[in-house]
Amino acid sequence: MAGDMTLFSNGNQLPAYLKNREMDAVTKNLMGGGSLSKRISIRGGVWRLLSGGKEIAVNEDRSMNFVIVNAAEKTSRSFYEGAYDPDAEKSASASCWSADSEKPDATVENPQSPTCATCPKNIKGSGQGDSRACRFNHRLAVVLENDLGGDVFQLTLPAASIFGSGENGKLPLNAYVKFLAGFNVPVTCVVTEARFDTSASTPKLTFKAVRPLTEDESAVCEKAGQTAAAKQAITFTVGKSDSKQKQLENKAEFAPEPKEEKSAEPAAEEAEQQPKKRETKAATPAPKAAKDAADLLKEWDDD
């Protein structure tokens, strides 16, 4: 397998009318009804390209540049029975899940609790170490910087890549988006660098802005965010409909962090509703922006 993912997603070689076109019924029938979604996985601390549920390329670079063109409205949650086994050939389906982190999905056969806030799997320490057994995740739709008009990929982030304040310019998703918003810059209008945090024991990404998009690039990305592929990428699905490969990734990517690492926290309003096994700390506020918009844009220009 080639290391460069763009070899498998070079939309520049396709006629314009084929880019982001929905697959027809004939192709789906011949594939036996398999999934056609394209995803980027961070399992094992490396970038993995998956198409139709199968891994087709691996990139071991520490960082990747892309544009976030769409995102799920709310953070979701998944609970898997038992500890993650990286050597297991198969992985059980999720036992319980929620698309909005408020209550179990209606399709869950055995809900762990009527609401996520009162769920025993949502208590710190219910998972390995000081973690929660039920894991947060957030789904993004992204396009690669060097192929903005090409394929739209799903990227699912674990809790450690979403929550927290960050330090030394290494910002998790929520803090990164708030930082940009402080300068009135939409996250969909910049090229984002996602980089693996090598100090973390499980896959964790931090984010920073590389440059603003040009007006033409912004128009291309806005269109990509409205495609069927982008909408599918941010739609929460889990459980029996997931392939065994995807279930294995879910358990691996959201494996509990060791106790010595700080656990990622949800938003303040949710933290107040957590079960009272132990006191819940208030969510850490987003870091204050030390530079004004002019300085930020000058840094982009200098780069």
Q: Is residue 52 within 8 Å of residue 37, measured between CB atoms? A: yes
pTM of the predicted model as reported, rounded to 2 decimal places: 0.69
Task: For the chain, give every domain's residue range.
Answer: 5-302
Q: What is the pLDDT of residue 245?
A: 45
Token pair belonging to 37: 């979604």
Please give the DSSP secondary-structure letter assigned to residue 170. Answer: B
Cα–Cα distance measured from residue 271 to residue 65, given in angstroms and rounded to the nearest whole number = 32
pLDDT tens for the chain, 303 residues long, are 444 544 444 445 656 666 556 666 576 556 554 445 799 999 999 999 998 778 989 999 999 999 999 999 999 998 988 665 544 434 457 889 999 999 999 888 889 999 999 999 988 888 777 788 898 999 999 999 999 999 999 999 999 999 998 877 789 999 999 999 999 999 999 999 999 999 888 899 999 999 999 999 999 999 999 999 999 999 887 644 344 444 445 544 444 443 333 434 444 334 333 444 444 444 444 444 445 544 554 555 444
Six token digits for residue 151: 């394929």
State how beta strands 153-158 and 38-41 pair: parallel
Q: Which residue pairs from 94-98 have beta carbons closer than 8 angstroms and sit at least 24 positions apart in sequence?
A: 94/238, 94/239, 94/242, 94/247, 94/250, 96/121, 96/134, 97/236, 97/238, 97/239
Locate 159 and state its tokens.
């809790």
Position 231, amino acid = K
Distance CA 23, CA 4 (A): 24
> 164 burial class (0-12, 13-18, 19+ CB within 10 angstroms)?
buried
Q: How far apart are CA 88 and CA 212, in angstroms?
A: 43
DSSP state of 161: G
